[in-house]
Each structure stands twice: as structure tokens, then as C-alpha cells.
Amino acid sequence: MGLAFDLSGGGRGSIHRLIRTTEGSGYVLQTIPGESGGNSKEVDRFVPAASLRGRIGLRRVKNELIFLSAEIPDGPLREIDRLPFAERTIRTLRVFAESGGSSTALDLRVSNMEIRAEEIASGVPRREQRSWGWLWTVVLAVSGALLFWVWRARRRNGGSPR
């Protein structure tokens, strides 16, 4: 079971809950910077966990992704790690399940999902929309100056065009 944030322009951050019999169970924490990730690089970490049930969470604060978990279904989420993450817009939140290549059935229950965001929108978020107000200001100012210049030229010539 896992949660992932997909960023605009590529990149993602995710937390996966793995149950393994031989290597031990735990969480895989991952950040992939994407195309405008700058100097940051892909990071993968494994955090061991004892229980087979619980809760997971992701939270982004500025340029960090905070990974959260609770070892019991009703327990409070606690921070298990932080990794660097891009400040670009999160385009998609994915909840996924994977059998890990096993031929057995996968049984998973997701309940009490909570999502908080600065803005939930389709299309281009307000924080990324380009404002064209400055262009209208320039057009109006140039038009006003041009009209003033024409008025002043006519006034100097006695109001008669040449």
C-alpha cells in the first residue's frame, strides 16, 4: 500500500508500506526530483516497522517531504523521516496497492482518508496563473500618451491638419 505526490514537470515523492517475510516489514520512502529538480537527486530509504497494520501519511512543507506513520490503526501519525522535495505544484495524489509480484490475492482496506491543500483545482492553479494586468496597464499608458501627443500637435497647428 502506498501514497504518492506527483509534481508538475515530473518528479514524485512516495511512501510504501511493505510486508516481507524474510527481510522484515517496513516503509520505503522515496523522492524523485523530476526535470527541474536542480541539485537534488533521487533518494530511497527503508524504515523498519513491527506491525502489519497501521496508518501512513505524507506532508509537504516548503522544500521538504515529511513521512508519517502510526503502528496502530487508531494511533496518531508520527514523523518517521524528512527528505528534500521540490516546491513545485503537486498535480496528483495517488493511493495505490501492489502485490509485489506475488500470485496471491491482495486484500487492502483504505478508510478515513484526509486531504488538506492550499488549493484543490482542475486546470492551472491560481498560484501558477500568469497575470496579464501589467500588459493592460502598459497598453493604456501608451494609448493615453499617444492621444495626448496627437491633441497637443493639433493644438499647436491651430487645430487644422496638414
Condensed to tens digits (0 to 9), the pLDDT of residues 24-49 reads 888 999 998 776 545 568 888 998 88
pLDDT tens sequence across 8-25: 878 899 999 887 767 788
3-class secondary structure, 69: strand
pLDDT in the model for residue 112: 80
Q: Which helix or strand (DSSP H or E) is residue 152 part of?
A: helix 133-156
Mean pLDDT for all residues in the chain? 82
pLDDT in the model for residue 37: 46
- What average pLDDT score do residues 87-97 get? 86
- What average pLDDT score do residues 103-130 get? 73
The CA distance from 94 to 27, in Å, is 16
